[in-house]
Chain A
Amino acid sequence: MKVSFPYMGTTVVYKKLLELLGHEVIMPPKPSQRTINLGVKYSPEFACFPLKVIMGSYMEAVEKGTEVIVTSGGHGPCRAGFYERVHSRILEEEDYNVEFIVFDSMFRDYKKFLQNVLRIKGDSSWYKVGKSLMLVYDMIKKLDVLEKEVQKTRAYEFKKGETTRAWEKIQNLFDRAYTKKAMEEAFEDGKELLSQIKQVPIAENKKVKIGIVGEIYVVMEASINMKLEEVLGSLGVEVERSQYLTQWINYNALPKFMNHSHETEILSKGERYIPIEIGGHAKQTVGHIVDFSERGFDGVVHLMPFGCLPELVSQSIVPKITADLGIPVLTLSIDEQTGTTNNLTRIEAFLDLIKGKRVRKIS
Chain B
Amino acid sequence: MQDIYLGIDVGSVSTNIVALNNEGEVVHSQYIRTNGQPLESVKNGLRELKKNIDQNTNIKGVGTTGSGRQLVGVMVGADVIKNEITAHATATAQVVPDVKTIFEIGGQDSKIIIIENQMVVDFAMNTVCAAGTGSFLDHQAERLGVPIEKFGDMALAAERDVRIAGRCTVFAESDMIAKQQFGFSKGEIIRGLCEALVRNYINNLGRGKKLEPPFVFQGGVAANKGIKSAFEKEIGHEVIIPKYFNIMGALGSAILAKELMEETGSDTNFRGFEAADLDFMPSTFECGGCSNNCEVIKVELDKQVIAMWGDRCGKWTNSL
Q: Which residues of A contact B (CB under 8 A)?
A: 29-30, 32-33, 159-161, 164-165, 223, 227, 230, 234, 316, 318-319, 322, 328, 341-342, 344-346, 348-349, 352-353, 356-357, 360-363
Q: Are B312's CB and A227's CB within 8 A?
A: yes
**For the complex, what is the distance from the CA of A316 to the CA of B122, rounded to whole Å?**
14
Q: Are A345's CB and B122's CB within 8 A?
A: no
* B269 surroundings in chain A (CB, below 8 A): none
* A345 surroundings in chain B (CB, below 8 A): 67, 83-85, 125
**For the complex, what is the distance from the CA of A298 to the CA of B104, rounded to whole Å?**
27
- B283 in contact (CB, < 8 A): no
Known A29-B291, A362-B118: A160·B208 in contact at CB below 8 Å: no
Interface set, chain B 200-241, CB cutoff 8 A to A = 207-209
Q: Are B118's CB and A349's CB within 8 A?
A: no
The binding surface of chain A is classed by DSSP as helix
* B127 surroundings in chain A (CB, below 8 A): 342
**For the complex, what is the distance from the CA of A223 to the CA of B209, rounded to whole Å?**
32
* A164 surroundings in chain B (CB, below 8 A): 313
Q: Which of B90, B93, B118, B314 contacts A160 (CB 8 A)?
A: B314
Q: Which of A30, A223, A227, A353 contacts B123 (CB 8 A)?
A: A353
**For the complex, what is the distance from the CA of A345 to the CA of B288, rounded to whole Å?**
26
* A346 surroundings in chain B (CB, below 8 A): 85, 125
**For the complex, what is the distance from the CA of A223 to the CA of B312, rounded to whole Å?**
11
- B1 in contact (CB, < 8 A): no
Size range of the chain B interface in the assembly: 20 to 34
Q: Are B86's CB and A348's CB within 8 A?
A: yes
* A30 surroundings in chain B (CB, below 8 A): 291
* B160 surroundings in chain A (CB, below 8 A): none
Q: Are B123's CB and A230's CB within 8 A?
A: no
Q: Which of A33, A165, A319, A356 contacts B119 (CB 8 A)?
A: A356
Q: Are B93's CB and A322's CB within 8 A?
A: no
Q: Which of B118, B121, B123 contacts A361 (CB 8 A)?
A: B118
Q: Are B315's CB and A362's CB within 8 A?
A: no
In the complex, residue of chain A having the shortest beta-carbon distance to the beta carbon of B208: A319
In the complex, residue of chain B having the shortest beta-carbon distance to the beta carbon of A353: B120
Q: What are the nearest 7 A-B pairs in CB distance?
A: A161-B314, A160-B314, A349-B85, A319-B208, A348-B83, A352-B86, A161-B313
* B318 surroundings in chain A (CB, below 8 A): 159-161
Nearest-Cβ distance from residue A234 to partner chain B, whole angstroms: 8
Write out, one digit per residue, whether chain B residues 74-92 have a CB within 8 A of any chain A CB (1) or not (0): 0000000011111001100
**For the complex, what is the distance from the CA of A345 to the CA of B110, rounded to whole Å?**
13
Nearest-Cβ distance from residue A34 to partner chain B, whole angstroms: 9
* A361 surroundings in chain B (CB, below 8 A): 118-119
**For the complex, what is the distance from the CA of A349 to the CA of B102, rounded to whole Å?**
15
Known A30-B291, A161-B318, A346-B125: A360·B117 in contact at CB below 8 Å: yes
Q: Which of B90, B118, B209 contacts A319 (CB 8 A)?
A: B209
Nearest-Cβ distance from residue B61 to partner chain A, whole angstroms: 16
- B30 in contact (CB, < 8 A): no
Q: Are B125's CB and A362's CB within 8 A?
A: no
Query: Of residues B85, B89, B125, B315, which shows the largest number of chain A Cβ atoms within 10 Å of its Cβ?
Result: B85
Query: Of residues A160, A349, A362, which shows the largest number of chain B Cβ atoms within 10 Å of its Cβ?
Result: A362
Known A328-B122, A346-B125: A362·B291 in contact at CB below 8 Å: no
In the complex, residue of chain B having the shortest beta-carbon distance to the beta carbon of A320: B208
- B293 in contact (CB, < 8 A): yes
Q: Which of B109, B119, B208, B315 contacts A316 (CB 8 A)?
A: B208
* A349 surroundings in chain B (CB, below 8 A): 83, 85-86, 120, 123, 125
* A362 surroundings in chain B (CB, below 8 A): 86, 89-90, 93, 118-120
